[in-house]
Structure 1
């Protein structure tokens, strides 16, 4: 089990990030093919292993990423680890080359970093028959000022918890969701359909990848939850919400979610990041404020809500 914890500083206009991540092999799998990473994109400090990560949200933001590898044997963990190392490094290096970073070019660089990671994983898979066919999901949430940008490939998830309600920020890129999008007839019992876990794309399984990016404006007191399917397939949404909304420490909340997933069967690796966002740099909490999720490919992106 690997763990990361961190707290940002405080000050006028500061955005404070309390974050904890955890990964567990579960009760069935022999290997843990999941990975997670937290990266301070201002300093380049990356946390992949148990360590404290103390920083105030800097001008270049913070990256939270969960990757769920696939491919059998050790291939899945190779793919997810490559992605978890490549994305933060590529994004940090590219941000350093930009004189003035706006929301628009920040998103372009986020998307490019995942596309680059796709090439790295794909080329590794093509160069060695032992890794042929490996790939990984990638859910990368980046806090840039008060805006949260979420880049998605695969079926790991990001949730926003506000006013004790939970909203899914990502859409699973699965075959059944694809059928729904094109208006095809769906099976009567979706949860029992053997195709529900078939992905329409993953990082590293083909030369190109279509990175979907959405964004929303965060508020003081919001929580962010990123997780692999090993959590949400074993623990219902109401149970996840109850744990995140509890008064326990973030490590205790993560541990409770892992325990619940294992009690539910633990059939897959279980990985999550929980981040609590506070501070005067965020709009104040508002009981009436809905979560407005937008697509960066829409025309209104240049003026985020």
Structure 2
């Protein structure tokens, strides 16, 4: 398993409210996982929310996962880990006024044998690169995505929409937050990319694909992507994790 992972606060933000985690990967069992969270809220509450999400999800998987699990059990663990994080962040936001209204996106990518499982809340994204093409796996939980789905605006118009950064679902945002699950088979040579919107708002898909295809070292690819995002303005925190399967 080839891995590249990095986070940067960007050029415009004083604090990095993104957080990520990459587990150890077992080549024998071909299993492992990575998580990205992009927090939001005043008084650095976003930083607190994203770290809580990463910690709680990681801990739940550590306590619950075993190599003998079925397809259904893995899906259940992913959902339960996100639900647990949601409850803890939501309760924390009610207990402390400084954390009122805090929340975080979360995307959890779990590799097991020949399957890729993704649990998703918010507008951080997962992509798969296969051959010379890059496909978005997840669908954003955002205001503009709803407008695109309803036909009110085009995807091109969404790029500069005033509500571009408004998300409709986040961990900690409500007592119960639905979690989307995506399952995909992967093939030798596939590359998985997960990232926060600090990357996708600054680079096009073709730019991202070009950098990854030009770098066999995925750590160098990730760092180059973040450098380009910053060179274009770095308007948000930027976090990228790439897995070469």
TM superposition score normalised by structure 1: 0.76
Q: Is 1:21 the counterpart of 2:8 in the alignment? A: no
> CA 1:58 to 1:153, structure 2 compared with 1: closer, same or farther past 3 Å?
farther
Please name the residue that 1:125 is paired with: 93
Q: For the residues of structure 1 that align with 2:199 and 2:235, how far apart are their CA atoms?
A: 10
Which structure has more RCO (C-alpha within 8 Å, separation ≥ 6)? 2
Higher-Rg member (1/2) = 1
**CA offsets per residue over residues 185-243 of structure 1, 9 Å max, x none?**
33793222212221111001111111000111011111111100001101111110001
Structure 1 residue 247: Cα displacement: 3.2
Q: For the residues of structure 2 that align with 1:59 and 1:209, how far apart are their CA atoms?
A: 32
Out of 66, 69, 72, which is 2:42 matched to?
A: 72
Q: For the residues of structure 2 that align with 1:161 and 1:248, how far apart are their CA atoms?
A: 13
Q: Is 1:185 the counterpart of 2:127 in the alignment? A: no
Written as runs of structure 1 = structure 2, the 5 A alignment for 1:144-155 is 144-155=112-123
Unaligned runs of 5+ in 1: 1-16, 41-54, 278-305
Q: For the residues of structure 1 that align with 2:163 and 2:28, how far apart are their CA atoms?
A: 42
Q: For the residues of structure 1 that align with 2:122 and 2:11, how far apart are their CA atoms?
A: 23
Unaligned runs of 5+ in 2: none
TM superposition score normalised by structure 2: 0.94
**CA offsets per residue over residues 63-115 of structure 1, 9 Å max, x none?**
1111100002311110000001110111221225xx94111111011111001
Contact 1:63 1:88 in 2 (8 A): no
Please name the residue that 1:31 is paired with: 15
Q: Which secondary structure state, in structure 2, belongs to the residue aligned with residue 76 of structure 1?
A: helix
Q: For the residues of structure 2 that align with 1:27 and 1:201, how far apart are their CA atoms?
A: 26
Q: For the residues of structure 2 that align with 1:128 and 1:107, how far apart are their CA atoms?
A: 32
Out of 207, 213, 216, which is 1:239 matched to?
A: 207
> CA 1:58 to 1:111, structure 2 compared with 1: closer, same or farther past 3 Å?
farther
Q: For the residues of structure 2 that align with 1:28 and 1:185, how far apart are their CA atoms?
A: 31
Q: Which secondary structure state, in structure 1, belongs to the residue aligned with residue 23 of structure 2?
A: strand
Q: Which secondary structure state, in structure 1, belongs to the residue aligned with residue 219 of structure 2?
A: helix
Please name the residue that 1:275 is paired with: 243
Aligned residues: 244
